[in-house]
Amino acid sequence: MEFRELPQEILIEIFSRLPLKSVGKCRCLAKLWRKLLSTPHFIKSHLTHQTHQENLILNTPFDTIYSRSTIKGNTIWKTFPGLDLCEWTAILGSCGGLVLMVLESFERFLVNPGTLQLIKVPKPPLGLKRKESFSMHGFGYDSSGDDYKVVTLSYYNAGNEHRSDDTFVDVYSVKRGVWKRVDGSPYDHRVLQLSPGMSERKLSKLYMFRKTFSPGAFVNGAIHWLARSRKLVGSPSVIAAFNLADEVFDEIPAPSGVDVEMFVFNKVVVLGGCLCLVDTRENGPMDVWIMKETEGSLRDMVINEPRAATIDGCTFMESLISPESKTRTLVNKKRRKCRYVGESL
Amino acid sequence: MARKNRNPVGKNVDPEAQKKKTRTLTLKSSDGQEFSISESAAVLSIAIENMVEDDCAGGVIPLPLVDGGTLARVITYLNKHAEDGASDEEKRKFDEEFVSGMEMGVLFDVVLAANYLDIRGLLREVRRRIADRMKNKSVEWVRKTFHIESDFTPEEEEQMKKEFAWAWEGVDSDVDD
């Protein structure tokens, strides 16, 4: 059957509502369409129409990484070709459908779980020596410059001969393919110093947590990490927010009621588009503080899902709250009460 | 000239909106069919609203790019969305049912009409529905359906299939529509 011909702009609008695979096929329609469906404008419009549930990246207990996609209810698992990802260590951030990962060799890759494409992120030229230092990472999108950015915070280990307490900040522009060093962070990001007076046993437990600790949470144009204030008396725990547009830090106070001694065991994540602080210590119900966009502090909430220890933080947080479910069950640990939170979470 | 009022529905205190509810317009399709519609429903189309405001409408508004069958469908949509007391949930359900029975050719007619008449909600709904129907279809199906001619050589076509290998799994048969 012959249909009427639709103008190009209507077709672009329709194609921007297709799942990723269909867009890939439509790029093979003709030369013009290959070009039209690859513009940054189209990609952005496509991302805003997606519900971000088509492709997920997961690790299994064997530390292998897969891309998962669902076609007509059938789940397809695929490994990334051309790279031995058995040696990957952690997911360092995720934004706009892209995921930043680090391998055991400390090589960093940006991967697209939908297309299985990989981009290697080079080492920062001013990066500190690995043995003497510790680095935290973050990945996000700067809408003002239309650029994805990788951020590393690095500092010398305690007792270093450099005697420097500075936290160095390096920013990698994915668009331009270059690193630059920006002003250092005014916060203390040393995870081991975040909880004063911690016992040996706790410290060693903390060391295990450390590698999954470092990814910053990207939301509202900024990457968020746990930190301590250097300005205020008693160096209170805060969440430091690095704004990707102007590349400076701001802060969110820690929620009242959080155990300051154990602050370091919390994890900053993004849930349902909101910044959250999750207490990762216990099995069973755990504390979750959720920040609404309009508020400047975190609210106390508890989620009643068991912790899945073998699944990485990024994925396990996503699986806690299904994007499809209209209501979300949250439990207040102290009151042992269920409550339903709507889409506005 | 009347104040620009893009969303007259539901503003019960506005005397202008009250007048629009009682005034009727006549829309004339490309094949000469005439339809009566309340002004409050008609102006959900930005194009018709502009014609009414510029007073170029006269008694009858000619719509030379929309045939009678399509215009009847569009008017059903406009009437529902201008209905007093129709909740958002009701409208959403209506939209869903409104497009679900349409064949691809009808969806194309409606999307062209919604685009021409500038009816944002209808345009959004129909575009989404067309996208739903073309998921997992073959490239040949999309080319034929949307009148797109390939300008790739067979070699280039093979190269593209390799480059976009991730997109070439799970293609449906092209039978429906």
pLDDT digits (tens, 9 = 90+) for A91-144: 677 777 677 877 767 788 887 766 777 888 998 888 887 777 778 889 998 988
The answer on pLDDT for A84 being more than 80 is no
- Check whether residue A27 and residue A151 sit in a common domain: no
Q: Mark whether B112 and B42 lie in a shared domain.
A: yes
- Asked whether residue B126 falls in the same domain as residue B149, the answer is no
Domain of residue B92: give its range.
Answer: 15-134
Give CA–CA dist A198/B149, Å, rounded. Answer: 69
Residues B91-149 pLDDT 10s = 999 999 999 989 999 999 999 999 999 999 999 999 999 999 988 788 999 999 999 99
- Residue A316, pLDDT above cutoff 50: no
Residue B108 and residue B154 in one domain: no
Greatest Cα pair distance in chain A: 78
Tally the domains of chain A: 2
Residue B111 sits in the same domain as residue B154: no
B131/A17 CB distance under 8 A: yes
Q: β-pairing, A274-279 with A249-253?
A: unpaired
DSSP bridge pairs for A66: A58, A79
B127 inside 8 A of chain A by CB:
yes
End residue of a domain, out of A32, A50, A68? A50
**Mean pLDDT over each residue of chain A, to the nearest integer:** 69
**Mean pLDDT, rounded, for A21-34:** 90
A86 Cβ under 8 Å from any chain B Cβ: no
Return the pLDDT at A146: 84
Q: Is the pLDDT of residue B17 over 80?
A: no
Q: A10 touching B, CB under 8 A?
A: yes
Q: pLDDT (tens digit, 9 = 90+) per residue, A248-289?
A: 999 888 877 677 667 777 778 776 567 877 776 655 556 677
State how far the Cα of A99 lies from the Cα of A314, in Å rounded to an integer.
Answer: 10
Residue A145 and residue A32 share a domain: no
Nearest to B164 among A6, A10, A27 (CB): A27
Reduced 3-state DSSP string for chain A: CCCCCCCHHHHHHHHCCCCHHHHHHHCCCCHHHHHHCCCHHHHHHHHHHCCCCCEEEEECCCCCEEEEEEECCEEEEEECCCCCHHHEEEEEEEECCEEEEEECCCCEEEEECCCCEEEEECCCCCCCCHHHEEEEEEEEEECCCCEEEEEEEEEECCCCCCCCCCCEEEEEECCCCEEEEECCCCCECCHHHCCCCCCHHHHHHHHHHHHHHCCCEEECCEEEEEEECCCCCCCCEEEEEEECCCCCEEEEECCCCCCHHHHHHEEEEEECCEEEEEECCCCCCEEEEECCCCCCCCEEEEECCCCCCCCCHHHHHHHHCCCCCCCEEEEECCCCEEEEECCCC
- Determine whether the interchain pair B143/A29 forms a contact, defined as Cβ–Cβ distance below 8 Å: yes
Q: CA distances (Å), A190 to each of A153, A211, A336, B28, B47, in order?
A: 10, 13, 34, 73, 61
Do the chains contact at A72 and B109, CB–CB below 8 Å? no
CATH number assigned to the domain comprising residue A64:
2.120.10
Q: Assign A314 a pLDDT band (cuts: 50, 70, 90).
A: very low
Touching A: B residues 41-100, CB under 8 Å = none
Contact B110, B100 (CB under 8 A): no
Contact B139 A26 (CB under 8 A): yes
Length of chain A: 345
Tell me how far apart the 2 most distant CA atoms of chain B are, in Å: 67
CB contacts, 8 Å: B134 with chain A = 14, 18, 22
Domain span at residue A99 reads 51-341
**Residue B34, SS3?**
strand
Residue B75 shares a structural domain with residue B141:
no
Q: First-to-last CA distance in chain B?
A: 47
Residues 6+ apart with CB under 8 A from A53: A323, A324
* Structural domain ending residue among the three candidates A20, A35, A50: A50
Instruction: Say whether both A1 and A140 belong to one domain.
Output: no
User: For residue A74, is pLDDT > 90?
Assistant: no
Chain B contact present for A13, CB below 8 A: yes
Note whether A26 contacts B: Cβ–Cβ < 8 A.
Answer: yes
The torsion defined by the Cα of A190, A312, A266 and A325, in degrees rounded to 10, comes to 150
With CB atoms and an 8 Å threshold, state whether B105 touches A11. no
A213 shares its domain with A260:
yes
The dihedral through the CA atoms of A74, A21, B174, A49 has a sign that is: positive
B123 and B141 belong to one structural domain:
no
Residues B130 and B154 grouped into a single domain:
no
Higher pLDDT, B23 or A150: A150
- Whether residue B168 lies within 8 A of chain A, CB to CB, comes out as yes
A116 token code pair: 């299985």
Does B135 lie at the interface with A, CB-CB under 8 angstroms?
A: yes
Claim to verify: residue A76 and residue A43 sit in the same structural domain: no
Which pLDDT band holds residue A50 (cuts at 50, 70, 90)? low
* Residue B127, domain CATH: 3.30.710.10
Does one domain contain both B73 and B152?
Answer: no
A27 touches B: beta carbon within 8 Å? yes
Q: How far apart are alpha carbons B122 and B74 in whole angstroms?
A: 8
The closest CB to that of A71, out of B112, B147, B170, belongs to B170
**Which two structure tokens, joined as six digits, stand for A340?**
């339903």
- Mark yes or no for CB contact A10/B168 under 8 Å: no
The reply to whether B105 and B88 lie within a common domain is yes
CA A115 to chain B, closest CA, distance in angstroms equals: 6
Structure ipTM: 0.83
Choose the weakest-confidence range: A47-51, B22-26, B88-92, B154-158.
A47-51
Shared domain check, A86 and A233: yes
Best-predicted range by mean pLDDT (A124-128, A147-151, A163-167, B83-87)? A147-151
Query: Is residue B27 helix, strand or coil?
Result: strand
Structure tokens given for A315: 């994925």
Q: Residues of A with CB below 8 A from B171's CB?
A: 25
User: What is residue B48's predicted lDDT score, i.e. its pLDDT?
Assistant: 92
Q: Note the pTM of the prediction, 2 decimals.
A: 0.63
Considering only CA atoms, give the Rg of chain B.
20
Shared-domain flag, residues B120 and B157: no
B146 within some domain: yes
Cα dihedral A301, A316, A107, A24, rounded to 10, equals: -120
d(CA B92, CA B175): 29
Does A2 share its domain with A58?
A: no
| Total length of chain B | 177
Output B10 or A311, whichever has higher pLDDT: B10
pLDDT value at residue A160: 64
Indicate if the pLDDT at residue B66 is higher than 80: yes
Mutate to test the interface with B, among A11, A15, A16, A25 (most CBs of B within 10 A): A25
User: Do A293 and A232 belong to one domain?
Assistant: yes
> CB-based contact (8 Å) between A3 and chain B?
yes
Contact A71 B152 (CB under 8 A): no
Closest CA to A37 of A21, A54, A56, A53: A21
More confident residue, A45 or B27: B27
**Sign of CA pseudo-dihedral A16, A17, A21, A22:** negative
Say what the pLDDT of residue A305 is. Answer: 41
Q: Provide the CB-side half-sphere exposure for B91 (13 A, CA).
A: 15
Cβ separation of B105 and A3 shorter than 8 Å?
yes
- How near does any CA of chain A get to the CA of B98, in Å? 18
Q: For chain B, how many structural domains are there in total?
A: 2
Residues B34 and B92 in one domain: yes
Q: Could you give the CA distance from residue A107 to residue A123 in angstroms, rounded to a whole number?
A: 8
Judge: A23–B115 Cβ closer than 8 Å, yes or no. Answer: no
What Rg value do the Cα atoms of chain A yield, rounded? 21
The region of weakest confidence among A100-109, A218-227, A304-313, B71-80 is A304-313
Domain membership flag for residue B111: yes
Q: Is residue B145 part of a domain?
A: yes
Instruction: Give the mean model confidence (pLDDT) for residues A10-31.
Output: 89
A87 versus A345: the higher-pLDDT residue is A87
Instruction: Please report whether residue B96 resides in a domain.
Output: yes
Take residue A160 and report the two structure tokens written for it: 């270093």
Q: Is A343 on the interface with B (CB under 8 A)?
A: no
Q: Which chain B residue lies closest to A25 (C-alpha atoms)?
A: B167
